[in-house]
Amino acid sequence: MRIFVITKRMLIIGAIAAIAVIAAIVIAIAVSDSSATAAAGAAKVEEYELEVLAGTKRELPVYSVAREDKKIALTIDAAWEDDKTEFILETLKKYDIKATFFLCGFWVEKYPDQVKAIHEAGHELGNHTATHPHMSKLSEKEMIKELEDFEKLMEKTIGERTKIFRAPYGEYDDRVITTVRKQGYEVLQWDIDTVDWKEERSAKTILDSVLPKLHPGCIILSHNNGYKIKEYLPVLIETAIKEGYEFVTVSELLLEGETLIDVNGVQKKAG
């Protein structure tokens, strides 16, 4: 009978060997998980690319325009009241600039003379719906009715239809954008917001937040009944002009020819 004597040295060697085996197993598992994660990530990227190529990416309005010159657009939404509209028109005339007014149908009905004055002054008019609803909650048929009811009022008031659209509350989804564009409109948003509908915002606060953000191709949002518009509008315009910016209508700001809208809502030349 053979007797095996296990020495202390043999125990140490055995322990080292066991640790090496366990370490090898752990490394193998880690490498396998890493490969699986990388493969999953690659699959997600591929899936995203396929979705984009297939045209399933989100539909966006134009927030701003990529321009090499320093043209910018002042847009004014008119849905409530009228006490500051005359001042706005006088200010625009004083600085010899053109703006774009997005009007609601009930505002057109209530203030037809102001609509005519805006139009006769050479400013651009846009469709802001007939009743200022949450468009994404409407059916396609109801959305089209909002657009058409507004245009009927415009034809009755100034004898013309509009070509641009801005959604009430700035709310939209793919269905809204697609439906409105099918009706022949370009859909506009903004990338600089005065937030002048908040009574607590002072003219200084508005100017401090807006002026540093000015850039070629930007679209500024104001409201015809903005609380501090009489205080901030002249300063905004004068400062922008001194910095070399040129105010144009939204349609003049938009690029011609083949264009695309990137993931940030910036309209650019295609290719």
DSSP structure string for 127-179: E--SS---GGGS-HHHHHHHHHHHHHHHHHHHS----EE--GGG---HHHHHH
Dihedral pair phi/psi, residue 97, rounded to 5° = -125, 160
What is the C-alpha to C-alpha distance for residues 76 and 69, in angstroms, rounded to an integer? 22
What is the model's pLDDT at position 31?
46
CA-closest candidate to residue 146, choices 106, 118, 110, 100: 106
What is the C-alpha to C-alpha distance for residues 158 and 111, in angstroms, rounded to an integer? 12
What is the C-alpha to C-alpha distance for residues 181 and 136, in angstroms, rounded to an integer? 14
For residue 106, what are the contacts with CB-CB under 8 A and spacing of at least 6? 79, 130, 131, 132
What is the C-alpha to C-alpha distance for residues 172 and 132, in angstroms, rounded to an integer? 13
Q: Please give the structure tokens belonging to residue 78.
A: 């008119």
CATH of domain 64-269: 3.20.20.370
Strands of 266-269's sheet, edge to edge?
64-65, 266-269, 259-261
Annotated active-site residue 191? The verdict is no
With beta carbons less than 8 A apart as the criterion, state whether 249 and 98 touch. yes
What is the C-alpha to C-alpha distance for residues 4 and 10, in angstroms, rounded to an integer? 11
What is the model's pLDDT at position 82?
92
Domain range list for the chain: 1-57, 64-269
What is the C-alpha to C-alpha distance for residues 251 and 99, in angstroms, rounded to an integer? 10
Catalytic residue among 123, 128, 132, 223: 223
Catalytic residue among 77, 128, 191, 196: 77
Q: Dihedral of the CA atoms 44, 45, 51, 55 (nearest 10)?
A: 160
Annotated active-site residue 128? The verdict is no
pLDDT in tens, the chain (271 residues): 444 444 555 545 555 655 655 655 555 555 455 444 444 444 333 333 333 344 456 899 999 999 999 999 999 999 989 999 999 999 999 999 999 999 999 999 999 999 999 999 999 999 999 999 999 999 999 999 999 999 999 999 999 999 999 999 999 999 999 999 999 999 999 999 999 999 999 999 999 999 999 999 999 999 999 999 999 999 999 999 999 999 999 999 999 999 999 999 999 999 7
Place of tokens 């200022």: 132
Place of tokens 């880690």: 30
H/E run at residue 78: strand 71-78
What is the model's pLDDT at position 37?
43
β-pairing, 100-103 vs 124-127, is parallel
β-pairing, 246-248 vs 192-193, is unpaired
Dihedral pair phi/psi, residue 260, rounded to 5° = -140, 165
What is the model's pLDDT at position 167?
98
